[in-house]
Amino acid sequence: MRHRRSAAALAVVGSVALSIGLGTGVGASVRPAARVHHTTSHKTKARYPRTLAGSFAFYSGGDTNVQQLWQDVLIPAFNRAYPNIHVNYVFDEHGTNDVATLARVAQAEKNHAASGYALLESATNAVELAARQGLFIPVTTKDIPNSVNVPSASMKVVNSDAVPYRGSKVVLAYNSATVKNPPKTLAQLLTWIQQNPGKFAYCSPSGGGSGSYFVQSVLNSYIPQSVQEQLAFTSNSSLESYWSKGLAELHKLNPDMYGGGNYPTGNTQVLTLLGSGAVQMATVWSDQGTQALQDGQLPKSIKLVDLTPPFAGSPVYLGIPKYTPKNQAILASAFLNFVLSVPQQAKVVKRLAGFPGIKVSVMTKTVQSEFGVLGDGQSLPYAATISSDLNRIWQQQVP
Amino acid sequence: MSETSVSTEVAEAVVGGAGAPGAPAPRARRSRRSAEGGSRGGLAGLLGYLPVAFLLVFGGIPIVFSLLLMFGHLGGPNAAISELGQGEIPAHGIGTLGAITQLFENASYRQDIFATVMVFVVTAAVVLAIAALLTFWHRLRPSKPLAVLQFLAVIPLFIPVVIASFSLWTFWGDRGFTNSLAQLAGWSNGLIFSGRIQGVILAETWVSLPFAVLLLRAGVASLGDSSLDAGRDAGARPFTIARRIMLPQLRRECTVVFCFTAVGALGSFTVPYIVGPSSPVMLGVDAVNTYTAYNQPQQAAVIGFTIFVLAALIGCVYALGSRSRRVGRG
């Protein structure tokens, strides 16, 4: 399964987040982007010389395309820049060991000992959860100069204890051959679902973020903006009482969903249903949808669009566990800094058809054009712990 | 030779070995031989304990930790997992039943248990019936089509479950082969099994059938001709021979097939996760979701324990069924 098995997640926010007045940045160190880029290159060389040597272990949970990104693109590029650093890449398909690995990190942190991994990425929301538990070394612009380009809200949701290196958002996919006037708002979408029973699908929230963010959009339509922001940035579970109306609405939609309330178990199954024509409309990840269109898995008649307001999006984070030996932490920081550089972020965007971890505005015009009609606007997803609760409550109340 | 006597001889050999002055030479040689045999025996004994140690480390100890977690003991060995977990109910004193009552008071969890029991009982019964039909019939009336069927029944053994599950989900979906066939026959949406409990039972049957067929085929092959011939000579029909002569002799094999299939279906994850409905879900899926997607390790331990209890019940059936002694083997 692609990223976000457990929906969790936090925001790559960009312009939308800033427009709703969320966090203003990582302290006062945020500087104008154009100047930052120039300064960053200079700083990077000074901070991490090419002669750095050693090795560190990197646990990565994800799908095979993530594995290929690291093994075929980013790590070889890093090795060309730093020939004396060896990255011991440990891949875990679908992140089945994410929780166990993070438990190991938590135990090591408790014992003030090294966990064995100097860098972690998870396919689930485990890294965000761990960051909120304070298990990682705080990220500073001194250690990772290129993190200055990361949207401030993305850093805020993990208390600046991890950095995002890629992202994606959920969009509406529809078959333009059968749907001539696609919905433009959530209200229109819900009406369309009721008027076309069995033709819309979203996956169960615990199975994939594309379903989770649809659910969150419906719930948010009954929640004041201020509460939505709290659900995104805090773990205040008492706010979950605001979900009752949205959950009732989702439950009411059951007979109008695909298969009379048969929710696909993951993002991939939704794409299969869309590709086979079993459904005419569904929520999908923008990067997965774009890749499926490029690969021919989805017919050309399938179009991807944003609603107003857009569905949520989420970055994928990398964190350095506390008590990682200092020499390894330096190497991991050098690696993170390298990955967050504009040229490497451009490779991430191209390879995964997703969003960069850094602000889109600092990317080249060519890369910016890759986003096409979708743009980079997105809503805030719920915080990791709230999202886990949502998975459970949806399962108990909706199907 | 008992371990004690071996030890005694080894001790004697060490104390009064061949080189010891005044010790009789033949006894010393005997002692040396005994000592070599003893060390080999000791090593073999140690190797014998390896599986027990393996079970203890990878089975017993985690079960104990899991039980402690279930009863709310969140510290000690469970501290790390509890650090990240949500919705935990800590123990006060000996322990708490909070997590257990919380789950069992939930109607959706009770439905999950009911669905799980139904799936493993029906799957095991269907698998046993099909395997018995194929193997018994082939023994009584050997034919090429039956031989081919038996061969085909074994094929799923060589197909990864995840691939098979996704294929079956597509095959039985509303755009799949079965429903397309039904639509052609004018039966709208008549043969959709994906996303339904019936689909899980069918898929579990498909996955479990090879082992059942192989086991029963071996059992049937070991039956002697004399008893079957006696039945035929007495004018019994094939069904009567199967029921009155073959089945009693193969009761143990049938019990093994039923129980192993039931345990396999009970603990399965991939098939019900991909093919099954959104609700109710089988306990294997429930446990994984609770642990990873809901981030509730304590409640996941309760589900694990529920599965353990159900598996123990199946174990009782196995113990009762495999106690019988077979008679009339040729």
* Per-residue three-class SS string for chain B: CCHHHHHHHHHHHHHCCCCCCCCCHHHHHHHHHHHHHHHHHHHHHHHHHHHHHHHHHHHHHHHHHHHHHHCCCCCHHHHHHHHHCCCCCCCCCCCCCHHHHHHHCCHHHHHHHHHHHHHHHHHHHHHHHHHHHHHHHHHHCCCHHHHHHHHHHHHHHHCCHHHHHHHHHHHCCCCCHHHHHHHHCCCCCCCCCCCCHHHHHHHHHHHHHHHHHHHHHHHHHCCCHHHHHHHHHCCCCHHHHHHHHHHHHCHHHHHHHHHHHHHHHHCCCHHHHHHCCCCCCCHHHHHHHHHHHCCCHHHHHHHHHHHHHHHHHHHHHHHHHCCCCCCCCC
Q: Does A305 touch chain B (CB under 8 A)?
A: no
What three-state secondary structure class fits A12?
coil
Instruction: Using DSSP, state whether A356 is helix, strand or coil.
Output: strand
- Which residues face A59 on adjacent strands? A90, A120
Of A103, A391, A396, the CB nearest to B293: A391
Task: Tell me whether B278 touches chain A (CB under 8 Å).
Answer: yes
pLDDT at B16: 36
Please confirm whether the linkage preceding B280 is cis (ω < 30° from 0): yes
Question: Backbone phi, then psi, for A201, in 5-degree steps?
Answer: -140, 145
- Contact status, residue A355 vs residue A349, Cβ threshold 8 Å: yes
Q: Which residue has the higher pLDDT, A138 or A42?
A: A138
Beta carbons of A397 and A251 less than 8 angstroms apart: yes
> Hey, how many other C-beta atoms are within 10 angstroms of the C-beta on A18?
16
**Cβ contacts of B175 on chain A, cutoff 8 Å:** 276-278
Domain A14-167+314-374 CATH (choose: 1.10.10.10, 3.40.190.10, 3.40.50.12280, 1.10.3720.10): 3.40.190.10
**pLDDT tens digits, residue range B303-314?**
999 999 999 999
| CB-CB contact of B18 with B25 (8 Å) | yes
Listed residue (B322, B312, B197) closest to B262, CA to CA: B312
Residue ranges matching CATH 3.40.190.10 in chain A: 14-167+314-374, 169-311+383-397
**8 Å CB contact of A399 and B274:** no
CATH number for domain A169-311+383-397, candidates 3.40.190.10, 3.10.129.10, 3.40.50.920, 3.30.70.270: 3.40.190.10
The string of pLDDT tens digits covering residues A329-353 is 999 999 999 999 999 999 998 888 7
Stretch B294-299: mean pLDDT: 92
Look at B278 and A262 and tell me if their CB atoms are within 8 Å. Answer: yes
Whether the predicted pLDDT of A38 surpasses 50: no
CA separation for the pair A45, A36 (Å, rounded):
14
B108–A contact, CB cutoff 8 A:
yes
pLDDT tens per residue, range A54-66: 999 999 987 777 8
Residue-level pLDDT at A98: 79
End-to-end CA distance of chain A: 22
Contact yes or no for B175 and A124 at CB 8 A = no
Please name which of B280, B300, B263, B270 lies closest in space to residue B112, comparing C-alpha atoms.
B280
* pLDDT above 70 coverage of chain B, percent: 85
Distant-in-sequence, close-in-space partners of A344: CB < 8 Å, separation ≥ 6? A74, A77, A338
β partners of residue A166: A316, A356
Burial zone of B57 (CB within 10 Å; 0-12 exposed, 13-18 middle, 19+ buried)? exposed
- Residue with the bigger pLDDT between B101 and A8: it is B101
Q: Note the pLDDT of residue A283.
A: 96
Per-residue confidence (pLDDT) for residue B39, from 0 to 100: 62
Which amino acid would we find at residue B26?
A: P
The shortest C-alpha distance from B50 to chain A (Å) reads: 26
Q: What are A284's two structure tokens?
A: 């999908």
C-alpha span between A90 and A70 (Å, rounded): 11
Give the DSSP per-residue string, A202-271: ---TTT-HHHHHHHHHHHHTTS-HHHHHHHHH---GGGGGGGHHHHHHHHHHGGGBGGGT---SSHHHHH
Q: Looking at the DSSP assignment, which residues form a beta bridge with residue A165?
A: none
Using pLDDT thresholds of 50, 70 and 90, give the confidence band for residue B324: low
Nearest-CA distance B299 → chain A (Å): 12
Whether the ipTM is more than 0.90: the answer is no
DSSP, res A140: -
- Name the token pair of B42: 């000791």
Residues B209-258: pLDDT tens digits?
999 999 999 999 888 888 888 888 888 888 899 888 898 889 999 999 99
The confidence score (pLDDT) of residue A196 equals 95
Residues 6+ apart with CB under 8 A from A114: A108, A321, A323, A324, A325, A328
Q: Does A140 touch chain B (CB under 8 A)?
A: no
Strand partners, A279: none
- Note whether B298 contacts A: Cβ–Cβ < 8 A: no
pLDDT for residue B130? 94
Task: Give the pLDDT of residue A372.
Answer: 55
How confident is the model at residue A376, as a pLDDT?
59
Lowest-pLDDT range, A172-186, A307-321, B98-112? A307-321
Q: Which of A107, A157, A126 is nearest to A322 (CA)?
A: A107
* pLDDT tens-digit readout, B181-208: 888 888 877 788 988 999 999 999 999 9
Round the average pLDDT of chain A to a whole number and report it: 83
Please state the rounded mean pLDDT for residues A281-286: 93
- Classify domain B106-321 at the CATH superfamily level: MetI-like (1.10.3720.10)
Cβ pair B79:A110 closer than 8 A: yes
Q: Which of A110, A124, A265 sits opposite B292 (nearest CB)?
A: A124
Query: Exposed, middle or buried by CB within 10 Å (0-12, 13-18, 19+), for A352?
Result: buried
Q: Which residues contact B273 (CB under 8 A, 6 or more apart)?
A: A265, B165, B284, B285, B288
**Cβ count near B137 (within 10 Å):** 18
CA-based R_g, chain A, Å: 20
Measured in degrees and rounded to the nearest 5, phi and psi for residue A85 equal -105, 130
What is the rounded average pLDDT for all residues in chain B? 83
Say whether residue A297 is in contact with chain B using an 8 A CB cutoff.
no
B277/A392 Cβ within 8 A: no
Nearest to A103 among B84, B170, B281 (CB): B84
The residue of chain A with its CA nearest to that of B274 is: A265
pLDDT over 80 (residue A9)? no
- Chain B CB contacts of A234 under 8 Å are none
Gap between the Cα atoms of A246 and A232, Å rounded = 17
More confident residue, A2 or A390: A390
Residues 15-44 of A with CB under 8 A from B: none
Query: Does residue B162 sit at the A interface (CB-CB below 8 Å)?
Result: no
Mean pLDDT of B174-186: 86
* Confidence bin at B38 (pLDDT 50/70/90): low
pTM for this one?
Answer: 0.75
Instruction: Give which of A139, A289, A261, A128 is closest to A202, Cα–Cα.
Output: A261
The whole-number pLDDT of residue B129 equals 95
* Residue closest to B152 by CA, chosen among B172, B170, B134: B134
Report whether B299 contacts B103 (CB < 8 A): yes
Break chain B into its structural domains and give their ranges. 3-16+23-52, 106-321
Cβ–Cβ contact A206 with B under 8 A: yes
CB atoms inside a 10 Å sphere around CB A35:
9
Residue entry with tokens 């051959």: A177
Give yes or no for a cis peptide into A309 (omega within 30° of 0). Answer: yes
How many C-beta atoms surround the C-beta of residue B7 within 10 A?
Answer: 12
pLDDT at B167 over 60: yes
Cβ separation of B293 and A5 shorter than 8 Å? Answer: yes
Mean pLDDT of A263-279: 90
Identify the residue among A4, A199, A262 best suited for mutation to test binding to B, counting B beta carbons within 10 A and taking the highest: A262
Nearest residue in B to A392, CA atom:
B294
> Residue B71 in contact with residue B98, Cβ under 8 Å?
no
CB A384 within 8 A of CB A132: yes
Note whether A206 contacts B293, CB cutoff 8 Å.
yes
Chain A residues closer than 8 Å to B271 by CB: none
**Residue that wins the pLDDT comparison between B1 and B189:** B189
Among A274, A272, A10, A392, which residue's Cα sits nearest to residue A164? A10
Question: What is the Cα–Cα distance from A223 to B164, expressed in whole angstroms?
Answer: 42
For tokens 């609700």, what's the residue?
A: B279
Q: Which residue of A has its CA nearest to B83?
A: A106
b/e code A226-252 from CB counts within 10 Å (16+ = b): eebbbbbbebeeebbebbeebbeebee
Beta strands of chain A (E only): which ranges?
54-62, 85-93, 119-121, 163-175, 200-201, 281-285, 302-305, 313-318, 355-356
- The pLDDT of residue B126 is 97
Pairwise CB contact (< 8 Å): B278 & A263:
yes
- Chain B residues near residue A277 by CB distance under 8 angstroms: 175
3-state helix, strand, coil in chain A (%, to 5): 50, 15, 35
A35-39, A138-142, A217-221, B137-141: the lowest-pLDDT one: A35-39
Q: Is A204 exposed, middle or buried (0-12, 13-18, 19+ CB in 10 A)?
A: buried
SS3 A377: coil
Hey, is the C-beta of A221 within 8 angstroms of any chain B C-beta? no
Rounded CA-CA distance B194/B179 in Å is 10
Q: Which of B80, B108, B296 sits opposite A107 (nearest CB)?
A: B80
CB A129 within 8 A of CB A319: no
| CA trace torsion A267, A270, A272, A275 (10° rounding) | -120
Strands A200-201 and A281-285: parallel
